[in-house]
Chain A
Amino acid sequence: MRGAIGEALRIDLLRVDALRTDAYVEALIAGTGGTGAGAEPGRRASQPTAEERPAATIEVDPEIAEAARLLHATAWRPHPSFRFEERVAARLAAAARGRLSAEDAAAGTIVAFPAAAAAVVPAMRPGAPLAGIVSAAIASAALSIGAAAVLAWRRGRPRRRVA
């Protein structure tokens, strides 16, 4: 019974400490107006700034406070390259216009570049007559069969000997 009470008390104390720590971190973050990392480069993390002083009024383990100040002062926010940002913005815009399914884009599906596809195969444009496509396919198949027949005939025929 005593053990259970002790355990409950320990958990409660941990929660209280965690609440204080969180309040301290919140005060640190709020103190810099959200500018966060590197607001004052070069400053010792153990020296609170004027903005951070409100955080100092919150009772928290000094070692934890030091660790929090250090992480807050040195957290680095990398930024993607401008080129990458613009490329993704263009892809999102294309997806938004319906030229590219966003799910396909996320899955990395390769789709034809619309302008090139339209220029090379004009008959494939949406709305092109189906008969044109079918006759082009038949003509292509007939040419292939004809070429294969000529090749077979030439292979089967003995070579003419030249005296």
Chain B
Amino acid sequence: MARPAFGILGRVGERRSPDGVVRLDADRRLVEEARSDPARFEALYRKYVAQVYAFALYELRDHHEAEDVTERTFMLALAGLPRFEERGAVPHAGRPDAGGATRGAAARPRGGTASVDDAVPDPADASSFRPWLFRIARNVVAGQRRTSRRRPTAPLELAAGIADPLDVAYDAELRDEARTAWSAVDRLPDDRRRAVVLRFVEEMSAAEIGEVLDRSEGAVRVLLHRALRAVAADLRRDESGRRDGGTP
């Protein structure tokens, strides 16, 4: 899956791993093709449509609204593609940050040359297009919420399909635990809940989530840590409730 390539070192969008191989942004080729011929945007669409849809569904808990958000996200992405700037620093794991601080746009390197020290070992599939796309999705979701003027009413575990009694994939106990865990996620503050969904459902790195939520990487790690602590506390309560013989 890794796409090693050899070229000019230190250019934005390229990351060098300790083995000296320069890795290009995973979506660079697709983005460049779509820029030169917008009809080829379809490849990026096919790659990310399910992820964007899942994010929208977890946020809005409504299938139709999620479809609407997905469609508008990709239309806006297509329109905004010429303005998209590939950023080599997106998946950077070692960027200094003040935990909990919101990172300003000015702090992000745009254009110019990135030092080789900025390059760190990253997952080979790291992309700066994906966080950019999800930022659009996040904004479209916010707009959708303003328009519909209502908060999602369906519980997260229902939206996630965990409570589906016809789903034989989960045994009863795991389903109970899963329901407790996702209910706990549902009760988290928006940013923590979003971070959990992006981490566990979309499998984004903390750095990518930081780009989406406009937070530093360290702040995202703290968000996730606190979120998991809250989920663990709920699971503990649930477990002790079951042990005591009563309903949790």
In the assembled complex, the CB of A84 is this many whole angstroms from the nearest CB of chain B, namely: 5
Our count of residue pairs bridging A and B at CB distance below 8 angstroms stands at 168
Cα-based distance from A66 to B178 in the complex (angstroms): 11
A49 at the interface (CB under 8 A from B): no
Q: Which residues of B contact A (CB under 8 A)?
A: 37-39, 41-42, 45-46, 49-51, 53-54, 57, 66-67, 70-72, 74-76, 78-79, 99, 123, 125, 160-162, 169-171, 173-174, 177-178, 181-182, 185, 196, 199-201, 203, 205-206, 218, 221-222, 224-225, 228-229, 231-233, 235-236
> In which size bucket is the chain A interface?
35 or more
In the assembled complex, the CB of B224 is this many whole angstroms from the nearest CB of chain A, namely: 6
Q: Which residues of A contact B (CB under 8 A)?
A: 11, 14-15, 17-19, 21-22, 25-26, 29-30, 34, 36-38, 41-45, 61, 63-64, 66-68, 70-80, 84-85, 88-89, 91-93, 95-97, 101-103, 105-106, 108
**Hey, which chain B residues are within 8 Å of A45, CB to CB?**
174, 177-178
Query: Do A63 and B173 have beta carbons less than 8 Å apart?
Result: no
In the assembled complex, the CB of A88 is this many whole angstroms from the nearest CB of chain B, namely: 5
**Hey, which chain B residues are within 8 Å of A72, CB to CB?**
200
Query: Do A92 and B170 have beta carbons less than 8 Å apart?
Result: no
27 contacts between A and B (CB under 8 A): A18-B218, A18-B224, A21-B221, A25-B200, A36-B200, A38-B169, A43-B174, A45-B174, A63-B232, A64-B232, A73-B174, A76-B161, A76-B201, A77-B51, A77-B54, A78-B53, A78-B161, A80-B53, A80-B70, A88-B49, A92-B41, A93-B39, A97-B39, A102-B75, A102-B78, A103-B76, A106-B79
Looking at chain B's contact residues, the main secondary structure is helix
Query: Do B205 and A26 have beta carbons less than 8 Å apart?
Result: yes
Cα-based distance from A78 to B71 in the complex (angstroms): 16
**Hey, which chain B residues are within 8 Å of A73, CB to CB?**
174, 178
In the complex, besides A25-B224, A71-B196, 9 extra interface pairs with C-beta distance below 8 angstroms are A22-B221, A45-B174, A70-B181, A70-B235, A74-B178, A76-B161, A84-B70, A95-B78, A96-B41
Cα-based distance from A91 to B78 in the complex (angstroms): 11
Q: Which of A29, A66, A105 contacts B235 (CB 8 A)?
A: A66
**Hey, which chain B residues are within 8 Å of A71, CB to CB?**
181-182, 185, 196, 200, 228, 231
**Hey, which chain A residues are within 8 Å of B49, CB to CB?**
80, 85, 88
Query: Do B224 and A21 have beta carbons less than 8 Å apart?
Result: yes
Q: Which of A80, A92, A105 contacts B67 (CB 8 A)?
A: A80
For B206, give the chain A residue with the smallest CB separation: A22
**Hey, which chain A residues are within 8 Å of B231, CB to CB?**
67, 70-71
Cα-based distance from A72 to B39 in the complex (angstroms): 36
In the assembled complex, the CB of A35 is this many whole angstroms from the nearest CB of chain B, namely: 9
Cα-based distance from A95 to B45 in the complex (angstroms): 13
**Hey, which chain A residues are within 8 Å of B205, CB to CB?**
26
Query: Do A22 and B225 have beta carbons less than 8 Å apart?
Result: yes
**Hey, which chain B residues are within 8 Å of A85, CB to CB?**
49
